[in-house]
Amino acid sequence: MKIVRSRPPWLPCAALVLAAATAAAAELPERIDNLLAQSPAAQTAFWGIQIVDLASGATLYDRNSSHFFVPASNTKLFTTAMALARLGPNFRFYTRVLAEQPPDAEGRIRGPLRLVGGGDPNLSARILPYQPGPSTGNPLAAIEDLAGQIAARGVKRIEGSIIGDDTWYVWEPYAEGWAIDDPQYGYGAPVSALTLNDNTLTLTVHPGARPGMLAALQLDPPIEYYQIDNRVLTTAARGASKVEMNRLPGSRQLRLWGTLPMNRTETMQVAVDDPAEFAAMALRRALEERGITVTGGIAVAHEYPNQEQDLTQRPEAPAPTGYELARRTSGPLIEDLQVTDKVSQNLHAELALRAVARERRHIGSIEAGLAELQLFLDEAGIPKEAYSLHDGSGLSRLNLVTPAAVVGLLRYMYRSPFREDWISLLPVGNQDGTLTTRLNGAAAGLIHAKTGSLSHVSALSGYAVRPDGTWLAFSILVNNHDGPNGEVRGVIDRICSLMVE
């Protein structure tokens, strides 16, 4: 993406521009302080703000910038910056289907078939490069492509199991500090080197034919991974729906209950708890649809943390072995990093952390990813005392950063050779991603920033483009607010407007 610097239609002389910018900078602290003092939503929360002029290096505003805050999804700034810098925008992932030997003259594979994940986050219906709006394609298209390649090799029969193999990364599906109920939902899907459809099922609840009947359920993709206990009752076409979902950790039983009016449907993203098994089930289904007989069952291969002596690095990474029947190559990394930051995709951020770990330290673990992140931040000049990170996505409630550390990262990436690629990852106010419906006034199109949200946490950090073409780096982290999220976001957006007025 080419960064276009906004300018007014008239071009005053340089002295007048400098004078106007100086006056605006002088007014900014007072205007922000007044805004925070007058907002009930701001008064009981803890605010950390730093705003820096990228040209001069001058700090235009500072409030608690050296204090720790839970950053929520602003953590993704650290992860995606490292992935872009360490792997480069054109890095790609590979998914393979391997057998122990080639098919015989009759098209038989003797032994198991392994579906080997290589960390590709986009074996899904997602359209790349990033486009605003929902994905409406076939979530199993990638698996069906692999199955089609196998059929084209003349395979007729597999005398063995279908193995979902995600040993490319260490099997650490959840990071320290995630809430116990996060893994039920799509935003907390487990992390695996073999990721299909973001490791989720879309469950749509439809009303029954008349009040009092059980609701009807629809799964996409149509893979019966869970046993579903459906107790949702249809009600008359009035009132709100009240559909609840619960799955105990480690359980394969999904419980649904509540009420659904005749004129409503409810859709929820349900995470699968073993993505490798889920993908193997999908591949077996696709093979059988193509007339290929599979005599064995479904199995999984994980690399567990206790199988490695050192989870921060190893001398070399083992490569998959076997006869390759099919392969799928991902798009360039830059396209996935755009998805990660634009829509704040937690799973993809975690996969990016592990991709760097595998490439740089030969082991795809959380520990190796965080160790490499510390080295990257050392190079960026960000002191270790300014952050404590426990995952790649920001879902961990244990993460802590200072606003000054976030601004330090933004300044480093702005000066880096990846500047334009980096800025292209960020949501743009009133245009796309998580800022599509925000910043629709004076700041529309002038804020390139990453959002963040958890219970009692709101964040926005990135860049502001002033009318005179100057760029600011800023970080706004808000913790311990207990009012509606919209009120706090409104104050944050107003600060953004003040920066560009």
Q: Are 302 and 276 in contact (CB under 8 A)?
A: yes
Q: Dihedrals φ, ψ of 422, to 5°?
A: -65, -50
3-class SS of residue 63: strand
Going by DSSP bridges, is the β-strand pair 162-170/113-116 parallel, antiparallel, or unpaired? parallel
Instruction: Name the β-bridge partners of 397.
Output: none
73 is catalytic: yes
Q: Are 274 and 210 in contact (CB under 8 A)?
A: no
| 176 residue type, one letter | E
Cβ-based burial of 490 (10 A; exposed 0-12, middle 13-18, buried ≥19): middle
3-class SS of residue 359: helix
Q: Which two structure tokens, joined as six digits, stand for 107?
A: 């098209």
Q: Which of 65, 73, 365, 424 is catalytic?
A: 73
76 is catalytic: yes
The alpha carbon of residue 179 and the mean position of all alpha carbons in its chain are separated, in whole angstroms, by: 17
3-class SS of residue 466: coil
Which residue from 462, 452, 451 is spatially nearest to 499, judged by alpha carbons? 462
What is the spatial distance between Cα 180 and Cα 435, in angstroms, rounded to a whole number?
28
Q: Give, for 333, the enclosing helix (H) or strand (E).
A: helix 333-342
Which residue from 258, 261, 282, 286 is spatially nearest to 272, judged by alpha carbons? 282
- The string of DSSP letters for 383-446 reads -GGGEE---SSS--TT-EE-HHHHHHHHHHHHTSTTHHHHHHTS-BTTTSGGGTTS--STTTTT
What is the spatial distance between Cα 383 and Cα 93, in angstroms, rounded to a whole number?
32
Q: Which of 161, 330, 344, 396 is catalytic?
A: 344
Q: Are 475 and 450 in contact (CB under 8 A)?
A: no
Going by DSSP bridges, is the β-strand pair 447-454/457-465 parallel, antiparallel, or unpaired? antiparallel
**Beta strand spans in 100-207 (E):** 108-110, 113-116, 157-159, 162-170, 200-206
Q: Which two structure tokens, joined as six digits, stand for 175?
A: 């990071």
Q: Which two structure tokens, joined as six digits, stand for 58?
A: 């001058």
Q: Which of 65, 76, 192, 396 is catalytic?
A: 76
Residue 334: CB partners within 8 Å, gap ≥ 6?
A: 84, 89, 90, 421, 424, 425
Cβ-based burial of 224 (10 A; exposed 0-12, middle 13-18, buried ≥19): exposed
424 is catalytic: no
Q: How far is CA 348 from CA 93, 149, 341, 354, in A?
A: 13, 26, 9, 10
| 361 residue type, one letter | R
List residues with catalytic annotation: 73, 76, 344
